[in-house]
Amino acid sequence: MKYLKITFIAVFFVLSVFILSQKFSTSNAQTVEYKWNLPKGFPTPSVPEGNPMTDAKVELGRHLFYDKRLSINEKTSCATCHLQEKAFAEDKKTSVGTTGEVHPRNSMGLANVAFNPSFNWANSAVNSLERHHLLPMFGTTPIVEMGMEGKETLMLERVKAEPVYEKLFADAYPKDREKINLNHITQSIASFVRSMISGNSPYDKYRYGKVQDAISESAKRGQRLFFSERTECFDCHAGFNISGTVNFVGKSNEPAQYENNGLYNIDGKGAYPPDNVGLFEITHKREDMGKFKVPSLRNIELTAPYMHDGSIATLEEVIDHYRVGGRTIAEGKYAGKGNENPYKSSFVNGFRLMPGDKEDLVAFLKSLTDTEFINNPKFSNPWEKK
């Protein structure tokens, strides 16, 4: 319960900072229409009315995303835990904050988060990118990530001292009297992350571009199996984003999809590790124990290890987990039969695989890797060139 109370305090703090940040900005941000250049089959992302997309704002956000001056000891940027080569996920089991504290969860990939109804693994209260970016910068629970709580003035002083930012902020907010402020920082980072659209994988070329040889015959078999009633993978990972719920222009907004996939059942009554109880930490509803947000499977080959706590190492092991309908941990403090978890999703029932099926499923999942996305210079570190 102590952790749950701390979590609510953290959420309250972050939202308070966001509201207070509004006083630093007028509502005169530039509103030139942004050109999305969306892949085939993709709808237009929804954008908050108060933070319209512009090229200048995206470019400013790119610089801020990679800027370590936004952390207390200038050792960590957003990009430290969101690596482009990993589809803006990370290469660790779980994240490590700028002061060395180890997070109980790992960083989710950022591809196509413009379509997300909410952010983070299990915090339904954070339903905008603008609010989300306050958490790593100023939050202190469950760990200190960037460590800037109470250091807003120091952050602004650092940004103002960098000559490059004078023009970038002026271009992004030409009509605002005060250019550099906290609200503009969070808005610009959100705009950059919102621009991270990934939809040019071999599977996209096959599915939407009608290029028949874009993926292998094994991947084609894996696709059919993935979207079959036998595995029911598509019940949670569907649509253009191969994900849970998405929102976009012209569609009524829906809440994010959270599911318990049977990773743990510590006490035989559905318990998860105390620092990773999922949506339960927000709602306090027992049926939400172990529920985490259903992620997109785009670029999944690059984002290992898997699950919210990085506890499954490979795609083959992920498939085995779902094949048996939940994980059995034979010994240790987290021992239990996950396939008997009373709060487990009705979609995680286990399934039968024939020889070669696992290899085909892995081939399909690997066909979702968008190499253009992870090499796109528009998403790269601008400071390396200066």
pLDDT of 148 strictly over 80: yes
Which pairs with CB-CB distance under 8 Å and at least 24 residues apart come from 6-13?
Answer: 6/141, 6/142, 7/123, 7/141, 7/142, 7/281, 7/282, 8/282, 9/141, 10/135, 10/139, 10/140, 10/141, 11/123, 11/125, 11/126, 11/282, 13/138, 13/139, 13/140, 13/149
Q: Once rounded to an integer, what is the mean pLDDT over residues 262-266?
A: 98
Segment 333-356, tens digit of pLDDT: 999 999 999 999 999 999 999 999
pLDDT of 107 strictly over 60: yes
Q: Once rounded to an integer, what is the mean pLDDT over residues 118-142?
A: 93
pLDDT of 14 strictly over 80: no
Given this model, what pLDDT does residue 386 score? Answer: 53
Segment 308-321, tens digit of pLDDT: 999 999 999 999 99
CATH topology of domain 202-371: Cytochrome Bc1 Complex; Chain D, domain 2 (1.10.760)
Given this model, what pLDDT does residue 8 score? Answer: 42
Helix (H, G, I), strand (E, B) or coil at 243: strand
Asked if domains 2-198+374-385 and 202-371 share a fold, the reply is yes
Given this model, what pLDDT does residue 33 score? Answer: 74
Helix pair 182-194, 152-161: axis angle to 10 deg: 70
Q: Domain locations in the chain?
A: 2-198+374-385, 202-371
Both tokens assigned to 227: 């979207």
Indicate the residue type of 348: V
Both tokens assigned to 220: 């084609």
CATH topology of domain 2-198+374-385: Cytochrome Bc1 Complex; Chain D, domain 2 (1.10.760)
pTM of the model: 0.92
CB neighbourhood size of 62 (10 A): 24
Report how far apart the first and last C-alpha atoms of the chain are (Å, whole number).
48
pLDDT above 70: percentage of residues in the chain: 91
pLDDT band at 270, cuts 50/70/90?
very high
pLDDT band at 30, cuts 50/70/90?
low
pLDDT band at 6, cuts 50/70/90?
very low
**106 Cβ contact partners less than 8 Å away, ≥ 6 residues apart:** 89, 90, 92, 93, 94, 95, 305, 308, 309, 310
Question: How far is residue 154's CA from residue 182's CA, in Å, rounded to a whole number?
Answer: 11
